[in-house]
Amino acid sequence: MITTSLLRRGWSYLTSEFFPRISMKRDAGPIDSVERVCEFARTRAAFVAQKKLFGYVKERMGMTYAKAFQNDEMAQSLTIATFEIYAACLSDLSVYCVANAAAGDAFSNGDREAMARRAFREGLEANTSPGRGAEKREVWTAAFDDRLSKTFWTPPGEGESRFTESGPALVRWAPIAERLKTHDEEIVLNSIKFAWVEVRKDFLARLDRAGVARDWLASRPG
């Protein structure tokens, strides 16, 4: 039987281990500066990563879900998975946000790469720490730099074409038996794909491209 104390332990684990480290602040103000683009990327990446990972684990574990937080090995697996999936979500959303925010003649591809790199690195710095993903920053950053070197920025791509890393990362890193993942893969990929739909809709509705361009040009060296 799952007791109230076990459920509380599960919730306490989530709030103490992840919520303070990965900010999930949400607002409805205009996205009119580079900082606001970066903030949107890291907060929404965190939201999707945690929601989809813990939702999948809870669905698969059923009534034993809360007990998992008493198992140190499972807890460590969840910690690793959370930050791996967050890094993948951040990669996808950084590229998507910048491709759309920095569309137009005011930006060069070099500008777009620089802005995306800033969004990604600030997201990692804000939401990782020693023992909580920080040891993988260089690996994730190198992979993101490689992605940027192969990125075509135009057309911006307002659909799902930019979201290539987050789905596979969720399937790979979720601490679920491989034999079950084989049956779950299509469902899991669709689940995170649908989660990004509302995120993209929110971003485009709030985006002020002219404001972002003014901010970038005002702060760009030279």
Q: What phi, psi does 2 have (nearest 5°)? A: -90, 115
133 three-class SS: strand
Helix 137-149 / helix 109-127 crossing angle, nearest 10 deg: 160
Global pTM reads: 0.88
What is the distance between the terminal CA atoms of the chain, rounded to a whole angstrom? 65
CB-based contact 98:115 (threshold 8 Å): yes
Residue-by-residue pLDDT tens, the chain, 222 positions? 333 343 344 444 554 455 444 444 567 899 999 999 999 999 999 999 999 998 898 888 776 666 666 777 877 888 899 999 999 999 999 999 999 999 999 999 999 999 999 999 999 999 988 888 899 999 999 999 999 999 999 988 888 999 999 999 999 999 998 999 999 999 999 999 999 999 999 999 999 999 999 999 998 765
31 three-class SS: strand
Within 8 A by CB and 6+ apart from 51, the residues are 195
Q: List the structure tokens of 67.
A: 């007990």
